[in-house]
A = this chain, B = another copy of it.
């Protein structure tokens, strides 16, 4: 899929197909975000919710449920659940990373403070948990509670792997599964489960979400070295935060002694000087680390599409396939 089709934005097309349900999700999010006693809560979250994002995760839940013929009300609850978990994670990430920008806007913890980010994140987690309990499905609760644990575990693993030059691609994949893919796969899986879809369909939905999430995160990590201002990301954030992302792991694997010393100083020891980011980019290009990372993202996108191919053809299925293409089109 080329840039021309990418420009037509399949997630927007999917958003149009799911417009009525997405309106219901947004309404539910607004209602449940409110707090009678603590007006600070919607103030903090409105900042994130208005910034928008693509609402990709809740759309995945709605799409999965509809593809499986669901006609009850609870896919809307689950979509809102997934978005609440995502937003809570962002709020806690902002504390953790001391990052100055999120989606091109100042992060909540600069506008407010670390305290509000931690506690409002906790509030959204609790709200998500209330929402999923309302569905009355213990299967759904099991999937989403497991996903929550995997997310937190992945974030902690990322923390301990940061600055560690011996981090393997396996460990990187485990971090990515935690911080991103776990919520994608839970989002698609619960859509199938709430619709009472056959086991192999639920498995296909899980596999699709998992591979899409991995692909999505690899692209995100790639854009941190490759990106433009249009993505709202600061180039080199991961380098400055000394994160062991895939491009770095690949460049390290091919580093000579001088290069290894450079990575040791900048990443392991955190002694970064003017021109270091530029030199890091040179090394990444020299060893084809960005191209190799891109190839992995494409392979995961292909896996995602292959999983969906086992499901009956439908307009929504085809738009999800287009989304798997679009995710990697960002680095075409």
Chain A residues with a Cβ under 8 A of chain B: 35, 37-41, 92, 95-96, 114-116, 118-120, 122-123, 125-127, 129-130, 133, 136, 138, 141-142, 145-146, 148-149, 151-157, 159-160, 174, 178
Contacts and interface: CB of A to CB of B under 8 A. Distances in A.
A40 B122 contact: no
Contacts of A92: 118-119, 122
B160 A119 contact: no
Contacts of A126: 145, 148-149, 151-152
21 contacts: A37-B153, A38-B153, A38-B156, A38-B157, A41-B153, A92-B119, A96-B118, A115-B159, A116-B159, A122-B125, A122-B151, A122-B155, A123-B149, A123-B153, A126-B149, A129-B145, A129-B148, A129-B149, A133-B142, A136-B138, A138-B138
A181 to B, nearest CB: 14
Nearest to A96: B115
Contact of A141 (B141, B148, B156): B141
Contacts of A96: 114-115, 118-119
Nearest to A150: B126
Nearest to A117: B118
Contacts of A95: 95, 114-115, 118
A37 B148 contact: no
A221 to B, nearest CB: 19
Contact of A156 (B41, B127, B130, B146): B41
A289 B151 CA distance: 46
Given A119-B152, A122-B125, 10 more contacts: A37-B153, A37-B157, A38-B156, A38-B160, A39-B160, A95-B114, A114-B114, A116-B156, A122-B148, A122-B152
Top 8 A-B residue pairs of the complex, sorted by shortest distance between their CB atoms:
A126-B148, A123-B152, A126-B149, A38-B156, A122-B152, A129-B145, A130-B145, A38-B157
Contacts of A127: 149
A124 to B, nearest CB: 8
A114 B138 CA distance: 34
A270 to B, nearest CB: 14
B119 A159 contact: yes
A175 to B, nearest CB: 9
A216 to B, nearest CB: 21
A162 to B, nearest CB: 9
Contacts of A39: 160
Contacts of A145: 126, 129-130, 133
A78 to B, nearest CB: 14
B35 A123 contact: no
A174 B38 CA distance: 10
Q: Which of A130, A133, A159 has the most CB of B within 10 A?
A: A133
Contacts of A178: 37
B114 A156 contact: no
A87 to B, nearest CB: 13
Nearest to A116: B159
A40 B160 CA distance: 7
A156 B125 contact: no
Contacts of A38: 153, 156-157, 160
